[in-house]
Homo-oligomer: A and B are copies of this chain.
């Protein structure tokens, strides 16, 4: 395994210390229990907390700041955080208007956020993200939360900043999630530091279609094809899922999994732009880059969000985080 590490055990904690120092103008880091939170508090605002396994950076710590999350609870690499983290984070950032958890749909995350909600005696306090259309809706544990999470966090973050109450934030988050579909493709696997070798084997001429963000195998292993053919497939599945009306305004997000260069991500973006434009959609907003990664995996995902006026305006609202920053 070739990585910049001292030991797998110290990687996360040391990395988070570095992250907090590099972004000391935005965040603070609580080492035990582990969470990252805003360095300024705002009373009377719904507090948004997310979290999940590490290895997806900048998700979620890079999305903590004005206009987005109040706190993020990072677990070990690809491992759910524990309820004491959410509990401590909630106590640190609760501004008196309630706490909303934004949770990607993985069994461990769901269970641990639910336990934290129970311990905090917070009813009905989470938005579940399940934007990955690689799995059928009927899958036993439902669909996974992937790159659409960042879009929910941005839009709900802006609403919370503007004073929306807990019920409105939750309803908005669920609406954004339902308006969002993602699908990913991997060219390589990724290597979990504690494991030391790639999670799955893949031939030099093969790719994994419909891959998640934890080094799971994809929906199917297929032969490497051109970027245009890959985009046709991903975009086609997304289009069929969302069934947008002609002229629909959308946000198009091309997300890199960590090891794919920007030159390729912008190529994918252009091809996806052409695909959706030809089908009558109006691409009003874009996000291209590595936002929801899978360690050192080469690959990318497409995410499409159907926008209404409110969502568009909230997307454009000021945000000041390590990974997304505008208008501040």
Contact = CB atoms under 8 A, between A and B. Distances in A.
Interface of A: 2-6, 11-12, 14-19, 21-23, 54-55, 57-58, 62, 77, 187-188, 204, 207, 224, 226-228, 230, 254, 258-271, 273, 283, 286-288, 290, 293, 295-296, 298, 300, 325-328
A141 to B, nearest CB: 26
Nearest to A229: B6
A259 B2 contact: no
21 contacts: A2-B187, A2-B188, A2-B298, A4-B227, A4-B230, A4-B267, A5-B227, A5-B267, A14-B267, A15-B270, A19-B266, A21-B270, A21-B286, A22-B266, A22-B287, A23-B286, A258-B259, A258-B261, A259-B298, A262-B293, A325-B326
A259 B57 contact: no
Contacts of A21: 269-270, 273, 283, 286
Contact of A262 (B57, B204, B227): B57
Contact of A263 (B57, B188, B325): B57
Contacts of A57: 261-263, 266
A55 to B, nearest CB: 6
Contacts of A263: 11-12, 15, 54-55, 57, 77, 295
Contact of A17 (B54, B262, B270, B300): B270
A288 B5 contact: no
A228 B18 CA distance: 13
Nearest to A230: B4
A273 B18 contact: yes
Nearest to A252: B22
A4, A54, A260, most chain B CB atoms within 10 A: A4
A22 B269 contact: yes
A274 to B, nearest CB: 9
Given A14-B267, A227-B5, A62 B262 contact: yes
A259 B6 contact: no
A6 B227 contact: yes
Nearest 7 pairs of A and B residues by beta carbon: A18-B270, A259-B259, A57-B262, A18-B266, A18-B269, A22-B286, A4-B264
A297 B118 CA distance: 46
A253 to B, nearest CB: 10
B259 A11 contact: no
Given A2-B207, A4-B230, A260-B296, 10 more contacts: A19-B266, A19-B269, A21-B269, A22-B288, A54-B263, A55-B261, A57-B261, A77-B263, A261-B295, A326-B328
A60 B260 CA distance: 18
A231 to B, nearest CB: 9
Contacts of A328: 326-327
Contacts of A227: 4-6
A17 B207 CA distance: 26
